[in-house]
Amino acid sequence: MLLKKLDNVEKRYHELEKLLSDPKIIADREKFQTYSKELVNLKDLFEKSLRYKNIIKELDEAKHLREDKDMQELAEAEIKKLTENKQKLQKDIELLLLPKDPYDEKNIIMEIRAGTGGDEAALFGGELLRLYLRFAERQGWKTEIMSSNATGLGGYKEVVFSIMGKGAYSKLKYESGTHRVQRVPATEGSGRVHTSAATVAVLPEAEEVDIKIEPKDLRIDTFRASGAGGQHVNKTDSAVRITYLPTNVVVACQDERSQYQNREKAMRLLRSRILEQAEETAIKKQRDARKIMVGTGDRSEKIRTYNFPQGRITDHRIGFTTYRLNDVMDGDINEIIDALTTADNTAKLQKLT
């Protein structure tokens, strides 16, 4: 079964090489880019396929060599080594053969909202914002605050921001859900540990080619911005609210000085919200097809607890615990992401087999 799949991979790889040398394809920029991208994506799997088949051939030769008494010891050592390499390579190939999430390479829009816990929840929301901004910085990605409702002292009732970088969605898609914090708030005089929460949503950023929006389906309102922002606040109608009439999705942006910039940001957010809504509908129709195996991706699902007194973080979906709380809050979350990715891929492999 696996060898048949690898035969098909190699066949498609050679087809793509042939297509990309065809003058008609070279002249068609869109097709050339599409085929080039597919070839690049197949390259790793193609090379591993060749190595895997070569190992199988070498194993057969070593087994024949074992029949010679003088070469038996050497052959046994070679068989052991080749078998280990084959098993490791097979796992890599199986992962590469898993269906790809079509959004994995996209930029993302993240939303953090304070949940239960009042000011403490808002402060935790601000700390989560810093965590993700620091993580993006470590990856060399760009970030941009799109909309925010600050409470002071670094807290946020709600903040929406974009992260732009290759594979941003593939890394951060597991962050959607409710994040709980357990600690003694700065305002608590008795030293009693409180539990607060903030919710996180991760949306793949939809491009214009992903979502077609007709102007007639939009209602655009302008209003005066409020909160931080300088002299323009409450003096000009720079803030923008857009309603998508078919589904009543509403987005608003007011952080920029110009109405044009706020409108542009609001449209980016709107496209991603519409895409999210479409995905939720598709998931309901075909529950197992796109669902992340380690969680539903639902904003209301409790996914993680940050226990400050014990310096512990637990991800409830996979039972993962780390005591590197300070590092994680500074954006070093690769250990958690790797554990979630491994659990997700393992579950998908089990489902396939």
For residue 195, the number of C-alpha atoms closer than 13 Å in the C-beta half-sphere is 6
In angstroms, the CA 281 to CA 181 distance is: 31
CA–CA distance, 321 with 300 (Å, rounded to integer): 21
- Strands (E) in 85-193, as ranges, are 108-114, 142-152, 155-164, 177-183
Q: Which two tokens stand for residue 284?
A: 């309901």
**Per-residue pLDDT, 233:** 46
Place of tokens 């009042």: 118
Band of the pLDDT at 338, cuts 50, 70, 90?
Answer: very high
* pLDDT of 152 higher than 90: no
Report the range of poorest mean pLDDT among 141-150, 204-213, 307-316.
204-213
Rounded Cα–Cα distance for residues 51 and 27 (Å): 34
Buried b (16+ CB within 10 A) or exposed e, 306-341: bbeeeeebbbbbbebebeeeeebbebebeebbebbb
Best CA proximity match to 256, nearest among 145, 158, 151, 155: 145
Share of the chain above pLDDT 70, in %: 89
Contact of 105 with 169, CB cutoff 8 Å: yes
The arithmetic mean of pLDDT across residues 161-179, rounded, is 94
**What pLDDT does residue 102 have?**
82
Candidates 46, 82, 40, 45; CA nearest to 62 is: 82
Widest Cα–Cα separation across the chain: 93
Query: Can you tell me the mean pLDDT for 268-285?
Result: 72
pLDDT tier at 290, thresholds 50, 70, 90? very low
> The domain at 108-209+294-352 falls in which architecture?
2-Layer Sandwich (3.30)
CATH number of 215-284: 3.30.160.20
Strands (E), the chain: 108-114, 142-152, 155-164, 177-183, 194-204, 218-223, 239-244, 249-253, 302-307, 312-315, 320-322
Mean pLDDT computed over every residue of the chain:
87
More confident residue, 159 or 300: 159
Summarize pLDDT for 19-69 with one digit per residue, the tens.
999 999 999 998 999 899 889 989 999 999 999 999 999 999 999 888 888
Q: Predicted confidence band at 90 (pLDDT cuts at 50, 70, 90)? A: very high
Residue with more model confidence, 291 or 98: 98
Q: Using one digit for the tens of pLDDT, what is the confidence trace for 250-267?
A: 888 887 778 888 888 888
